[in-house]
Structure 1
Amino acid sequence: MPTDDQTPSGSRASDSTIGHEVRILSDNMVNGRLIAAARALIGWEQQELAEHAGIKRQTLADMEGDVRKPQARIRQAVLNVLQLHGVRFVEVGGADGLIRSKVSSDDNA
Structure 2
Amino acid sequence: MPTDDQTPSGSRGSDSTFELQGRFLPGDMVNGRLIASARALLGWDQRELAERAGIRRHTLAALEGDVRKAQTRVRQAVLQILENEGIRFVVMAGAFGVMIEAGSGKLPGSNEPYQG
Deviation at 1:8, TM superposition (A): 2.5
Tell me which stretches of 4 or more aligned residues in structure 1 moved more than 3 Å. Answer: 3-7
| 1:12 corresponding residue in structure 2 | 17
- AA of the residue aligned to 1:63: L
Q: Equivalences for 1:1-109 in 2 at 5 Å?
A: 7-9=9-11, 10=13, 11-15=16-20, 21-102=21-102, 103-104=104-105
1:21-66 superposed Cα distances (whole Å, 9 cap, x missing partner): 1110000010000000000000000000000000000000000000
Note closer, same or farther for the CA distance 1:42–1:5 as it changes in structure 2 (3 Å cut). closer
Does the 8 Å contact 2:24/2:91 carry over to 1? yes
State the SS of the aligned residue for 2:19: strand
The one-character-per-residue Cα deviations of 1:59-100 (angstroms, maximum 9, x if unpaired) are: 000000000011100100000000000000000111100110
* SS in structure 2 at match of 1:36: helix
Evaluate the alpha carbon distance shift between residue 55 and residue 13 of structure 1 in structure 2; reply closer, same or farther with a 3 A threshold. same
> Identity percentage over the alignment?
54
TM-score, normalization by structure 1: 0.82
Work out the CA distance in 2 between the residues paired with 1:100 and 1:7. 14
Q: Calculate the aligned-residue CA RMSD, in Å.
A: 2.0
- Tell me the number of residue pairs that the alignment of Structure 1 and Structure 2 aligns: 100
Radius of gyration: which is bigger? Answer: 1
- Cα distance in 2 between the residues matched to 1:82 and 1:7: 18
User: Structure 1 regions of 5+ residues with no counterpart?
Assistant: 16-20
Q: Displacement of 1:5 after TM fit?
A: 6.5
State the TM-score, normalized to the length of structure 2.
Answer: 0.78
Counterpart Cα distance in 1 of 2:45 and 2:61? 11
In 2, the alpha carbon distance for the partners of 1:46 and 1:13 equals 30
